[in-house]
Structure 1
Amino acid sequence: MTILVFGQTGQVAQELQEQADVLALGRDQADLSDPGLCAEAIRRAKPDVVINAAAYTAVDRAEQEEALATVVNGESPGAMARVCADLGIPFLHVSTDYVFDGSGSEPWRESDPVAPQNAYGRSKLAGEEAVRAAGGAHVILRTSWVFSAHGANFVKTMLRLSETRDALNVVDDQIGGPTPADAIAAALLEMAAQMQAGKAGGTYHFSGHPAVSWAGFAREIFSQARRDVSVTGIPSSEYPTPAARPLNSRLDCAKIRSDFGITPPDWTAGLARVLRQLECSE
Protein backbone atom coordinates (compact mmCIF):
# COMPACT_ATOMS: atom_id res chain seq x y z
CA MET A 1 0.00 0.00 0.00
CA THR A 2 1.45 3.34 -1.10
CA ILE A 3 0.67 6.07 1.44
CA LEU A 4 1.15 9.71 0.50
CA VAL A 5 1.51 12.02 3.50
CA PHE A 6 1.18 15.78 3.37
CA GLY A 7 3.59 17.06 6.00
CA GLN A 8 7.19 16.19 6.70
CA THR A 9 8.39 18.01 9.81
CA GLY A 10 5.23 18.19 11.94
CA GLN A 11 4.77 15.98 14.98
CA VAL A 12 2.32 13.50 13.45
CA ALA A 13 4.06 13.53 10.07
CA GLN A 14 7.39 12.61 11.65
CA GLU A 15 5.78 9.77 13.58
CA LEU A 16 4.13 8.47 10.40
CA GLN A 17 7.54 8.37 8.73
CA GLU A 18 9.01 6.47 11.68
CA GLN A 19 6.22 3.90 11.77
CA ALA A 20 5.68 3.19 8.07
CA ASP A 21 7.22 3.45 4.63
CA VAL A 22 5.39 6.53 3.41
CA LEU A 23 5.98 9.22 0.81
CA ALA A 24 6.04 12.40 2.90
CA LEU A 25 5.82 15.73 1.11
CA GLY A 26 7.32 18.84 2.64
CA ARG A 27 6.40 22.43 1.86
CA ASP A 28 8.92 22.55 -1.00
CA GLN A 29 7.05 19.71 -2.71
CA ALA A 30 3.47 20.60 -1.80
CA ASP A 31 2.81 24.04 -0.34
CA LEU A 32 -0.60 23.98 1.35
CA SER A 33 -1.05 27.66 0.54
CA ASP A 34 -1.57 26.48 -3.07
CA PRO A 35 -4.49 24.00 -3.24
CA GLY A 36 -3.87 23.31 -6.93
CA LEU A 37 -0.33 22.12 -6.29
CA CYS A 38 -1.56 19.82 -3.52
CA ALA A 39 -4.11 18.26 -5.88
CA GLU A 40 -1.49 17.82 -8.59
CA ALA A 41 0.90 16.14 -6.14
CA ILE A 42 -1.69 13.42 -5.52
CA ARG A 43 -2.37 12.87 -9.22
CA ARG A 44 1.35 12.64 -9.88
CA ALA A 45 2.08 10.18 -7.03
CA LYS A 46 -0.91 7.88 -7.70
CA PRO A 47 -1.01 6.59 -4.09
CA ASP A 48 -3.39 4.06 -2.57
CA VAL A 49 -4.16 6.29 0.45
CA VAL A 50 -3.56 9.96 1.30
CA ILE A 51 -3.06 11.28 4.84
CA ASN A 52 -3.05 15.02 5.46
CA ALA A 53 -0.89 15.61 8.54
CA ALA A 54 0.05 19.18 7.60
CA ALA A 55 -1.71 22.31 8.84
CA TYR A 56 -1.46 25.94 9.82
CA THR A 57 -1.13 25.50 13.60
CA ALA A 58 -0.11 28.97 14.86
CA VAL A 59 -3.32 29.48 16.84
CA ASP A 60 -2.66 33.03 17.99
CA ARG A 61 -1.15 34.26 14.72
CA ALA A 62 -4.20 32.93 12.89
CA GLU A 63 -6.20 35.78 14.42
CA GLN A 64 -4.28 38.12 12.06
CA GLU A 65 -3.84 35.61 9.23
CA GLU A 66 -7.24 33.95 9.05
CA ALA A 67 -7.35 34.11 5.25
CA LEU A 68 -4.06 32.20 4.96
CA ALA A 69 -5.06 29.75 7.70
CA THR A 70 -8.31 29.07 5.85
CA VAL A 71 -6.50 28.30 2.61
CA VAL A 72 -4.05 25.94 4.35
CA ASN A 73 -6.54 24.29 6.72
CA GLY A 74 -9.66 24.57 4.61
CA GLU A 75 -9.21 24.93 0.87
CA SER A 76 -6.19 22.67 0.42
CA PRO A 77 -7.67 19.69 2.31
CA GLY A 78 -10.78 20.14 0.20
CA ALA A 79 -8.72 20.04 -2.98
CA MET A 80 -6.93 16.92 -1.76
CA ALA A 81 -10.21 15.23 -0.86
CA ARG A 82 -11.75 15.98 -4.27
CA VAL A 83 -8.83 14.39 -6.10
CA CYS A 84 -8.97 11.35 -3.81
CA ALA A 85 -12.70 11.05 -4.50
CA ASP A 86 -12.01 11.22 -8.25
CA LEU A 87 -9.36 8.52 -7.94
CA GLY A 88 -11.46 6.36 -5.61
CA ILE A 89 -8.88 6.29 -2.81
CA PRO A 90 -9.29 6.97 0.94
CA PHE A 91 -8.37 10.38 2.34
CA LEU A 92 -7.53 10.80 6.04
CA HIS A 93 -7.42 14.28 7.55
CA VAL A 94 -6.35 15.42 11.02
CA SER A 95 -8.60 17.97 12.72
CA THR A 96 -9.05 19.41 16.19
CA ASP A 97 -11.28 19.83 19.24
CA TYR A 98 -11.17 23.59 18.50
CA VAL A 99 -14.16 23.14 16.17
CA PHE A 100 -16.28 23.08 19.37
CA ASP A 101 -17.02 26.06 21.60
CA GLY A 102 -15.41 24.51 24.69
CA SER A 103 -18.47 24.84 26.89
CA GLY A 104 -19.71 22.40 29.53
CA SER A 105 -17.80 19.53 31.06
CA GLU A 106 -18.98 16.47 29.11
CA PRO A 107 -16.68 14.93 26.47
CA TRP A 108 -17.58 16.11 22.97
CA ARG A 109 -19.13 13.55 20.66
CA GLU A 110 -18.73 13.54 16.89
CA SER A 111 -22.40 14.46 16.45
CA ASP A 112 -22.33 17.48 18.77
CA PRO A 113 -22.86 20.93 17.20
CA VAL A 114 -19.70 22.78 16.20
CA ALA A 115 -19.06 26.44 17.04
CA PRO A 116 -15.36 27.37 16.88
CA GLN A 117 -14.33 30.33 19.02
CA ASN A 118 -11.19 31.42 17.17
CA ALA A 119 -9.79 31.79 13.65
CA TYR A 120 -7.80 28.56 13.83
CA GLY A 121 -10.92 26.60 14.79
CA ARG A 122 -12.91 28.22 11.99
CA SER A 123 -10.21 27.35 9.46
CA LYS A 124 -10.13 23.72 10.62
CA LEU A 125 -13.94 23.50 10.46
CA ALA A 126 -13.76 24.79 6.87
CA GLY A 127 -11.43 21.89 6.11
CA GLU A 128 -13.80 19.37 7.66
CA GLU A 129 -16.71 20.70 5.62
CA ALA A 130 -14.71 20.67 2.38
CA VAL A 131 -13.53 17.10 2.96
CA ARG A 132 -17.07 15.88 3.56
CA ALA A 133 -18.40 17.80 0.56
CA ALA A 134 -15.89 16.05 -1.73
CA GLY A 135 -18.01 12.93 -1.38
CA GLY A 136 -15.20 10.37 -1.27
CA ALA A 137 -14.15 7.78 1.30
CA HIS A 138 -12.62 9.79 4.13
CA VAL A 139 -11.72 9.99 7.79
CA ILE A 140 -11.67 13.22 9.76
CA LEU A 141 -9.75 12.53 12.95
CA ARG A 142 -10.23 15.17 15.63
CA THR A 143 -7.56 15.18 18.30
CA SER A 144 -6.20 17.48 20.99
CA TRP A 145 -3.12 18.66 22.88
CA VAL A 146 -0.61 16.84 20.67
CA PHE A 147 2.87 16.18 22.07
CA SER A 148 5.99 14.26 21.03
CA ALA A 149 9.77 14.41 21.06
CA HIS A 150 9.59 16.41 17.82
CA GLY A 151 8.87 20.04 17.09
CA ALA A 152 7.37 22.54 19.48
CA ASN A 153 4.84 21.39 22.07
CA PHE A 154 3.82 21.80 25.71
CA VAL A 155 6.07 19.03 27.03
CA LYS A 156 9.19 20.51 25.48
CA THR A 157 8.22 24.02 26.58
CA MET A 158 7.79 22.90 30.19
CA LEU A 159 11.13 21.10 30.16
CA ARG A 160 12.83 24.17 28.72
CA LEU A 161 11.32 26.46 31.35
CA SER A 162 12.34 24.06 34.11
CA GLU A 163 15.98 24.68 33.24
CA THR A 164 15.76 28.20 34.66
CA ARG A 165 12.61 28.24 36.82
CA ASP A 166 11.65 26.42 39.99
CA ALA A 167 8.05 27.68 40.04
CA LEU A 168 5.51 28.21 37.26
CA ASN A 169 1.94 29.47 36.93
CA VAL A 170 -0.03 27.27 34.53
CA VAL A 171 -3.66 27.48 33.40
CA ASP A 172 -5.84 25.13 35.43
CA ASP A 173 -9.36 25.68 34.05
CA GLN A 174 -8.80 24.30 30.53
CA ILE A 175 -9.38 20.55 30.58
CA GLY A 176 -8.52 18.09 27.84
CA GLY A 177 -6.73 14.96 26.77
CA PRO A 178 -3.01 15.23 25.94
CA THR A 179 -2.40 13.00 22.92
CA PRO A 180 0.94 11.40 21.96
CA ALA A 181 1.71 11.99 18.28
CA ASP A 182 2.94 8.41 17.90
CA ALA A 183 -0.50 7.15 18.94
CA ILE A 184 -2.20 9.45 16.42
CA ALA A 185 0.09 8.16 13.68
CA ALA A 186 -0.60 4.55 14.63
CA ALA A 187 -4.35 5.21 14.61
CA LEU A 188 -4.17 6.83 11.17
CA LEU A 189 -2.19 3.92 9.73
CA GLU A 190 -4.62 1.38 11.18
CA MET A 191 -7.61 3.28 9.83
CA ALA A 192 -5.93 3.63 6.43
CA ALA A 193 -5.35 -0.12 6.26
CA GLN A 194 -8.95 -0.90 7.21
CA MET A 195 -10.32 1.62 4.72
CA GLN A 196 -8.11 0.19 2.00
CA ALA A 197 -9.79 -3.13 2.76
CA GLY A 198 -13.23 -1.59 2.36
CA LYS A 199 -14.07 -0.15 5.78
CA ALA A 200 -16.26 2.95 5.74
CA GLY A 201 -14.91 6.13 7.28
CA GLY A 202 -16.42 9.27 8.78
CA THR A 203 -15.62 11.67 11.60
CA TYR A 204 -13.87 10.32 14.70
CA HIS A 205 -12.42 11.54 17.97
CA PHE A 206 -9.06 10.37 19.30
CA SER A 207 -7.36 11.85 22.36
CA GLY A 208 -5.41 10.73 25.39
CA HIS A 209 -6.98 9.83 28.72
CA PRO A 210 -7.55 10.61 31.53
CA ALA A 211 -8.68 14.21 31.17
CA VAL A 212 -6.41 16.72 32.87
CA SER A 213 -5.77 20.46 33.05
CA TRP A 214 -2.68 22.11 31.61
CA ALA A 215 -1.46 22.58 35.19
CA GLY A 216 -2.01 18.89 35.94
CA PHE A 217 -0.22 17.98 32.72
CA ALA A 218 2.72 20.17 33.74
CA ARG A 219 2.92 18.55 37.18
CA GLU A 220 3.06 15.08 35.61
CA ILE A 221 5.78 16.21 33.21
CA PHE A 222 7.94 17.49 36.06
CA SER A 223 7.24 14.40 38.17
CA GLN A 224 8.23 11.96 35.44
CA ALA A 225 11.23 14.07 34.40
CA ARG A 226 12.32 14.38 38.03
CA ARG A 227 12.36 18.18 37.87
CA ASP A 228 11.79 20.07 41.12
CA VAL A 229 9.34 22.68 39.84
CA SER A 230 6.31 23.95 41.75
CA VAL A 231 3.17 24.47 39.61
CA THR A 232 0.48 26.92 40.68
CA GLY A 233 -2.83 26.63 38.83
CA ILE A 234 -4.31 29.87 37.50
CA PRO A 235 -7.49 30.72 35.58
CA SER A 236 -7.35 31.47 31.85
CA SER A 237 -8.26 35.07 32.66
CA GLU A 238 -4.80 35.50 34.21
CA TYR A 239 -3.08 34.26 31.05
CA PRO A 240 -4.77 36.15 28.18
CA THR A 241 -3.95 35.12 24.60
CA PRO A 242 -4.95 36.66 21.25
CA ALA A 243 -7.03 33.57 20.42
CA ALA A 244 -9.63 32.29 22.89
CA ARG A 245 -8.93 28.75 24.09
CA PRO A 246 -11.72 26.26 24.85
CA LEU A 247 -12.19 25.42 28.52
CA ASN A 248 -13.54 21.96 27.70
CA SER A 249 -11.42 20.01 25.20
CA ARG A 250 -12.55 16.55 26.34
CA LEU A 251 -13.33 14.20 23.45
CA ASP A 252 -15.55 11.12 23.58
CA CYS A 253 -13.60 8.37 21.81
CA ALA A 254 -16.15 5.55 21.95
CA LYS A 255 -16.89 5.64 18.22
CA ILE A 256 -13.32 4.96 17.04
CA ARG A 257 -13.10 2.06 19.48
CA SER A 258 -16.39 0.61 18.25
CA ASP A 259 -15.82 1.07 14.51
CA PHE A 260 -12.08 0.50 14.18
CA GLY A 261 -11.09 -1.29 17.38
CA ILE A 262 -8.70 1.54 18.25
CA THR A 263 -8.28 2.33 21.94
CA PRO A 264 -7.42 5.89 23.00
CA PRO A 265 -3.96 6.11 24.57
CA ASP A 266 -2.97 6.59 28.19
CA TRP A 267 -1.14 9.90 27.85
CA THR A 268 0.96 9.30 30.97
CA ALA A 269 2.53 6.25 29.30
CA GLY A 270 3.00 8.27 26.12
CA LEU A 271 4.73 10.98 28.14
CA ALA A 272 7.15 8.39 29.54
CA ARG A 273 8.02 7.32 25.98
CA VAL A 274 8.61 10.90 24.88
CA LEU A 275 10.82 11.66 27.87
CA ARG A 276 12.91 8.57 27.13
CA GLN A 277 13.30 9.70 23.52
CA LEU A 278 14.37 13.16 24.60
CA GLU A 279 16.90 11.72 27.06
CA CYS A 280 18.40 9.54 24.32
CA SER A 281 18.69 12.51 21.96
CA GLU A 282 20.66 14.64 24.42
Structure 2
Amino acid sequence: MKNILITGASGQLAMEIKQELNNSITNNYIFTNKNELDVTNADKVSSFFSKNSIELVINCAAYTNVNGSEIDKETANLVNHLAVKNIAEACTEQGSACIHLSTDYVFAGEKNTPYTETDATSPLGAYGQTKLLGESALQHSDIDFLILRTSWLYSAFGNNFVKNILGISKERKELKVVFDQVSTPTYAKDLARFIIFIIENKLYRGRQDVYHFSNEGVCSWYDFAVEILKLAGSDCKVIPCRTEEFPTPASRPAYSVLDKAKIKTDFNFPIPYWRDSLVSLMTNYKL
Protein backbone atom coordinates (compact mmCIF):
# COMPACT_ATOMS: atom_id res chain seq x y z
CA MET A 1 0.00 0.00 0.00
CA LYS A 2 1.44 3.35 -1.12
CA ASN A 3 1.15 6.71 0.60
CA ILE A 4 -0.51 9.22 -1.76
CA LEU A 5 -0.48 12.90 -0.76
CA ILE A 6 -3.19 15.30 -1.95
CA THR A 7 -2.42 18.95 -1.22
CA GLY A 8 -5.02 21.73 -1.26
CA ALA A 9 -7.51 19.49 0.57
CA SER A 10 -10.07 22.27 1.06
CA GLY A 11 -10.32 22.97 -2.69
CA GLN A 12 -13.05 21.63 -4.93
CA LEU A 13 -10.89 19.12 -6.84
CA ALA A 14 -9.32 17.58 -3.74
CA MET A 15 -12.74 17.34 -2.13
CA GLU A 16 -14.11 15.56 -5.19
CA ILE A 17 -11.16 13.15 -5.12
CA LYS A 18 -11.82 12.41 -1.47
CA GLN A 19 -15.51 11.78 -2.11
CA GLU A 20 -14.83 9.53 -5.11
CA LEU A 21 -12.23 7.40 -3.34
CA ASN A 22 -14.72 5.76 -1.02
CA ASN A 23 -12.05 4.23 1.22
CA SER A 24 -9.61 2.86 -1.34
CA ILE A 25 -8.00 -0.36 -0.18
CA THR A 26 -5.10 -0.17 -2.63
CA ASN A 27 -3.47 3.04 -1.33
CA ASN A 28 -3.30 5.22 1.77
CA TYR A 29 -4.44 8.74 0.88
CA ILE A 30 -3.24 11.70 2.96
CA PHE A 31 -5.15 14.97 2.46
CA THR A 32 -3.54 18.19 3.69
CA ASN A 33 -4.60 21.83 3.72
CA LYS A 34 -2.27 24.79 4.11
CA ASN A 35 -2.42 24.56 7.91
CA GLU A 36 -1.39 20.90 7.91
CA LEU A 37 1.30 21.28 5.24
CA ASP A 38 2.62 24.65 4.11
CA VAL A 39 3.81 23.84 0.60
CA THR A 40 5.51 27.24 0.39
CA ASN A 41 7.96 26.11 3.10
CA ALA A 42 10.63 23.91 1.50
CA ASP A 43 11.87 22.43 4.79
CA LYS A 44 8.37 21.44 5.90
CA VAL A 45 7.62 19.86 2.53
CA SER A 46 10.86 17.88 2.55
CA SER A 47 10.28 16.71 6.13
CA PHE A 48 6.69 15.68 5.41
CA PHE A 49 7.68 13.63 2.35
CA SER A 50 10.44 11.89 4.30
CA LYS A 51 8.36 11.19 7.40
CA ASN A 52 5.42 9.79 5.41
CA SER A 53 7.36 8.01 2.62
CA ILE A 54 5.29 9.69 -0.08
CA GLU A 55 5.00 7.66 -3.29
CA LEU A 56 2.94 10.21 -5.24
CA VAL A 57 1.69 13.75 -4.67
CA ILE A 58 -1.40 15.21 -6.33
CA ASN A 59 -0.76 18.94 -6.15
CA CYS A 60 -4.15 20.64 -5.97
CA ALA A 61 -2.79 23.57 -3.93
CA ALA A 62 -3.02 26.80 -5.91
CA TYR A 63 -3.75 30.50 -5.71
CA THR A 64 -6.67 30.61 -8.17
CA ASN A 65 -7.89 34.18 -7.73
CA VAL A 66 -7.20 35.50 -11.25
CA ASN A 67 -7.82 39.16 -10.42
CA GLY A 68 -6.16 38.81 -7.03
CA SER A 69 -3.03 37.50 -8.72
CA GLU A 70 -2.60 40.87 -10.44
CA ILE A 71 -2.91 42.67 -7.12
CA ASP A 72 -0.79 40.25 -5.07
CA LYS A 73 1.72 38.81 -7.52
CA GLU A 74 4.06 37.77 -4.71
CA THR A 75 1.53 35.37 -3.18
CA ALA A 76 0.53 34.04 -6.59
CA ASN A 77 4.16 33.30 -7.39
CA LEU A 78 4.80 31.78 -3.97
CA VAL A 79 1.90 29.31 -4.22
CA ASN A 80 1.70 28.63 -7.96
CA HIS A 81 5.42 28.55 -8.72
CA LEU A 82 7.81 28.33 -5.76
CA ALA A 83 5.65 25.80 -3.88
CA VAL A 84 5.74 23.53 -6.95
CA LYS A 85 9.51 23.85 -6.95
CA ASN A 86 9.52 22.77 -3.29
CA ILE A 87 7.38 19.76 -4.14
CA ALA A 88 9.61 18.84 -7.09
CA GLU A 89 12.69 18.96 -4.87
CA ALA A 90 11.03 16.81 -2.20
CA CYS A 91 9.97 14.34 -4.90
CA THR A 92 13.56 14.21 -6.12
CA GLU A 93 14.82 13.46 -2.61
CA GLN A 94 12.26 10.69 -2.00
CA GLY A 95 11.89 9.29 -5.50
CA SER A 96 8.23 10.38 -5.49
CA ALA A 97 6.09 11.11 -8.54
CA CYS A 98 3.82 14.13 -9.02
CA ILE A 99 0.50 14.90 -10.70
CA HIS A 100 0.21 18.68 -10.91
CA LEU A 101 -2.86 20.71 -11.85
CA SER A 102 -2.44 23.62 -14.24
CA THR A 103 -4.69 25.83 -16.34
CA ASP A 104 -5.87 26.90 -19.79
CA TYR A 105 -4.79 30.42 -18.77
CA VAL A 106 -1.22 29.59 -19.80
CA PHE A 107 -2.47 30.41 -23.33
CA ALA A 108 -3.12 33.86 -24.79
CA GLY A 109 -6.39 32.81 -26.42
CA GLU A 110 -5.50 34.08 -29.89
CA LYS A 111 -6.33 30.82 -31.71
CA ASN A 112 -9.73 29.76 -32.96
CA THR A 113 -9.05 26.03 -32.81
CA PRO A 114 -8.43 23.96 -29.66
CA TYR A 115 -5.03 24.27 -28.01
CA THR A 116 -2.78 21.22 -28.02
CA GLU A 117 -0.12 20.46 -25.42
CA THR A 118 2.62 21.53 -27.86
CA ASP A 119 1.12 24.93 -28.74
CA ALA A 120 3.13 27.95 -27.64
CA THR A 121 2.19 29.32 -24.23
CA SER A 122 1.78 33.05 -23.66
CA PRO A 123 -0.21 33.87 -20.51
CA LEU A 124 -1.94 37.23 -20.34
CA GLY A 125 -1.70 37.78 -16.59
CA ALA A 126 0.05 36.89 -13.36
CA TYR A 127 -2.16 33.87 -12.65
CA GLY A 128 -1.29 32.18 -15.93
CA GLN A 129 2.34 33.30 -15.70
CA THR A 130 2.85 31.82 -12.24
CA LYS A 131 1.07 28.59 -13.17
CA LEU A 132 3.35 28.28 -16.19
CA LEU A 133 6.40 28.80 -13.97
CA GLY A 134 5.07 26.00 -11.78
CA GLU A 135 4.90 23.73 -14.82
CA SER A 136 8.48 24.67 -15.66
CA ALA A 137 9.67 23.78 -12.15
CA LEU A 138 8.46 20.22 -12.71
CA GLN A 139 9.75 20.02 -16.27
CA HIS A 140 13.24 20.97 -15.12
CA SER A 141 13.26 18.19 -12.52
CA ASP A 142 14.12 14.53 -13.10
CA ILE A 143 11.04 13.11 -11.41
CA ASP A 144 8.09 11.28 -12.95
CA PHE A 145 5.26 13.76 -13.44
CA LEU A 146 2.00 14.50 -15.21
CA ILE A 147 0.89 18.09 -15.66
CA LEU A 148 -2.86 18.27 -16.17
CA ARG A 149 -4.16 21.52 -17.65
CA THR A 150 -7.87 22.06 -17.17
CA SER A 151 -10.43 24.83 -17.68
CA TRP A 152 -13.40 26.48 -15.96
CA LEU A 153 -13.50 24.03 -13.06
CA TYR A 154 -16.69 23.75 -11.01
CA SER A 155 -18.30 21.36 -8.50
CA ALA A 156 -20.65 21.20 -5.54
CA PHE A 157 -17.72 22.25 -3.35
CA GLY A 158 -15.79 25.49 -3.04
CA ASN A 159 -16.29 28.77 -4.85
CA ASN A 160 -16.99 28.53 -8.57
CA PHE A 161 -19.02 29.96 -11.47
CA VAL A 162 -22.00 27.62 -11.09
CA LYS A 163 -22.54 28.46 -7.44
CA ASN A 164 -21.92 32.17 -8.04
CA ILE A 165 -24.50 32.34 -10.86
CA LEU A 166 -27.08 30.49 -8.78
CA GLY A 167 -26.45 32.83 -5.85
CA ILE A 168 -26.76 36.01 -7.93
CA SER A 169 -29.90 34.73 -9.68
CA LYS A 170 -31.70 34.57 -6.33
CA GLU A 171 -31.05 38.27 -5.76
CA ARG A 172 -31.64 39.73 -9.24
CA LYS A 173 -34.15 39.49 -12.06
CA GLU A 174 -31.41 39.70 -14.69
CA LEU A 175 -27.64 39.51 -14.94
CA LYS A 176 -25.01 40.21 -17.57
CA VAL A 177 -22.48 37.56 -18.57
CA VAL A 178 -19.74 37.83 -21.18
CA PHE A 179 -20.23 35.95 -24.45
CA ASP A 180 -16.81 36.67 -25.99
CA GLN A 181 -14.77 34.36 -23.75
CA VAL A 182 -14.99 30.76 -24.93
CA SER A 183 -13.69 27.52 -23.44
CA THR A 184 -15.12 24.37 -21.83
CA PRO A 185 -16.59 23.99 -18.32
CA THR A 186 -15.04 21.07 -16.45
CA TYR A 187 -16.84 19.19 -13.70
CA ALA A 188 -14.25 18.56 -10.98
CA LYS A 189 -15.77 15.14 -10.30
CA ASP A 190 -14.90 14.03 -13.85
CA LEU A 191 -11.31 15.22 -13.43
CA ALA A 192 -11.14 13.55 -10.00
CA ARG A 193 -12.24 10.25 -11.52
CA PHE A 194 -9.53 10.49 -14.15
CA ILE A 195 -6.86 11.20 -11.52
CA ILE A 196 -8.01 8.22 -9.44
CA PHE A 197 -7.94 6.07 -12.58
CA ILE A 198 -4.30 7.09 -13.14
CA ILE A 199 -3.37 6.38 -9.52
CA GLU A 200 -5.16 3.09 -9.05
CA ASN A 201 -3.78 1.72 -12.33
CA LYS A 202 -0.26 2.99 -11.52
CA LEU A 203 -0.06 4.95 -14.78
CA TYR A 204 1.91 7.85 -13.27
CA ARG A 205 5.30 6.13 -13.40
CA GLY A 206 7.66 6.50 -16.35
CA ARG A 207 6.02 9.71 -17.55
CA GLN A 208 7.19 13.30 -17.82
CA ASP A 209 4.40 14.87 -19.81
CA VAL A 210 1.70 17.52 -20.15
CA TYR A 211 -1.94 16.60 -20.80
CA HIS A 212 -5.13 18.54 -21.37
CA PHE A 213 -8.31 17.51 -19.55
CA SER A 214 -11.65 19.29 -19.74
CA ASN A 215 -15.13 18.13 -20.52
CA GLU A 216 -16.11 17.74 -24.18
CA GLY A 217 -17.69 20.58 -26.15
CA VAL A 218 -17.37 24.36 -26.32
CA CYS A 219 -19.31 27.27 -24.87
CA SER A 220 -19.05 30.86 -23.68
CA TRP A 221 -19.57 32.03 -20.11
CA TYR A 222 -22.96 33.33 -21.33
CA ASP A 223 -23.96 29.90 -22.69
CA PHE A 224 -22.80 28.29 -19.45
CA ALA A 225 -24.87 30.69 -17.33
CA VAL A 226 -27.98 30.18 -19.47
CA GLU A 227 -27.72 26.41 -19.08
CA ILE A 228 -27.16 26.64 -15.31
CA LEU A 229 -30.28 28.74 -14.76
CA LYS A 230 -32.33 26.66 -17.17
CA LEU A 231 -31.53 23.51 -15.17
CA ALA A 232 -32.22 25.34 -11.92
CA GLY A 233 -35.65 26.43 -13.17
CA SER A 234 -34.77 30.07 -12.55
CA ASP A 235 -36.62 32.91 -14.29
CA CYS A 236 -33.58 35.20 -13.97
CA LYS A 237 -32.75 36.60 -17.42
CA VAL A 238 -29.17 36.31 -18.71
CA ILE A 239 -28.03 39.15 -20.95
CA PRO A 240 -24.95 38.66 -23.17
CA CYS A 241 -22.27 41.35 -23.01
CA ARG A 242 -18.69 41.95 -24.11
CA THR A 243 -15.64 41.63 -21.86
CA GLU A 244 -14.92 45.35 -22.26
CA GLU A 245 -18.15 46.13 -20.41
CA PHE A 246 -16.69 44.56 -17.27
CA PRO A 247 -13.08 45.75 -16.95
CA THR A 248 -11.05 43.67 -14.47
CA PRO A 249 -7.45 43.81 -13.18
CA ALA A 250 -6.62 40.63 -15.12
CA SER A 251 -6.96 39.98 -18.84
CA ARG A 252 -8.41 36.60 -19.80
CA PRO A 253 -8.00 34.54 -22.97
CA ALA A 254 -10.87 34.99 -25.42
CA TYR A 255 -10.55 31.39 -26.59
CA SER A 256 -8.97 28.66 -24.47
CA VAL A 257 -10.60 25.41 -25.58
CA LEU A 258 -8.28 22.47 -24.87
CA ASP A 259 -7.61 19.67 -27.34
CA LYS A 260 -7.90 16.31 -25.55
CA ALA A 261 -6.81 13.96 -28.34
CA LYS A 262 -3.54 13.11 -26.60
CA ILE A 263 -5.05 12.14 -23.24
CA LYS A 264 -7.74 10.03 -24.93
CA THR A 265 -5.15 8.24 -27.05
CA ASP A 266 -2.73 7.55 -24.19
CA PHE A 267 -5.27 6.54 -21.53
CA ASN A 268 -8.47 5.60 -23.39
CA PHE A 269 -10.48 7.34 -20.67
CA PRO A 270 -14.07 8.45 -21.47
CA ILE A 271 -14.65 12.20 -21.12
CA PRO A 272 -18.26 13.39 -20.67
CA TYR A 273 -19.90 16.24 -22.60
CA TRP A 274 -20.05 19.43 -20.54
CA ARG A 275 -23.85 19.74 -20.51
CA ASP A 276 -24.25 16.12 -19.36
CA SER A 277 -21.86 16.73 -16.47
CA LEU A 278 -23.67 19.92 -15.49
CA VAL A 279 -26.96 18.00 -15.46
CA SER A 280 -25.32 15.39 -13.23
CA LEU A 281 -24.25 18.06 -10.73
CA MET A 282 -27.60 19.86 -10.71
CA THR A 283 -29.51 16.58 -10.38
CA ASN A 284 -27.49 15.15 -7.53
CA TYR A 285 -26.83 18.25 -5.43
CA LYS A 286 -29.04 20.98 -4.03
CA LEU A 287 -26.97 24.10 -4.61
Give structure 1 stretches of 5+ with no counterpart: none
Q: Of residues 141, 150, 153 in structure 2, which corresponds to 1:143? A: 150
Q: Of residues 120, 126, 144 in structure 2, which corresponds to 1:119? A: 126
Determine the C-alpha separation between the residues in 2 that align with 1:55 and 1:165. 32
Secondary structure at 1:129's aligned position in 2? Answer: helix
Counterpart amino acid of residue 128 in structure 1? E
Change (3 A) 1:111 1:152: same
Secondary structure at 1:240's aligned position in 2? Answer: coil
Number of residue pairs aligned between Structure 1 and Structure 2: 280
> In the alignment, is the contact (CA less than 8 A) between 1:90 and 1:192 conserved in 2?
no
Aligned to 1:48: 55
Determine the C-alpha separation between the residues in 2 that align with 1:6 and 1:54. 5
> In the alignment, is the contact (CA less than 8 A) between 1:175 and 1:247 conserved in 2?
yes
Change (3 A) 1:254 1:120: same
> In the alignment, is the contact (CA less than 8 A) between 2:49 and 2:94 conserved in 1?
no
Secondary structure at 1:110's aligned position in 2? Answer: coil
Shift of 1:187: 1.3
Q: Percent identity?
A: 35
Determine the C-alpha separation between the residues in 2 that align with 1:178 and 1:120. 18
Secondary structure at 2:149's aligned position in 1? Answer: strand
TM-score by length of 1: 0.94
> In the alignment, is the contact (CA less than 8 A) between 1:49 and 1:196 conserved in 2?
no
> In the alignment, is the contact (CA less than 8 A) between 1:92 and 1:192 conserved in 2?
no
Determine the C-alpha separation between the residues in 2 that align with 1:42 and 1:224. 44
Aligned to 2:285: 278
Shift of 1:27: 1.0
1:11 aligns with 2:18: no
Counterpart amino acid of residue 18 in structure 1? Q
Determine the C-alpha separation between the residues in 1 that align with 2:190 and 2:279. 13
Q: Of residues 226, 232, 245 in structure 1, which corresponds to 2:233? A: 226
TM-score by length of 2: 0.93
Counterpart amino acid of residue 129 in structure 1? S
Determine the C-alpha separation between the residues in 2 that align with 1:188 and 1:43. 23
Aligned to 2:216: 209
Determine the C-alpha separation between the residues in 2 that align with 1:112 and 1:45. 38
Aligned to 2:258: 251
Q: Kindly report the root-mean-square deviation, in angstroms, between the aligned alpha carbons of the 2 structures.
A: 1.6
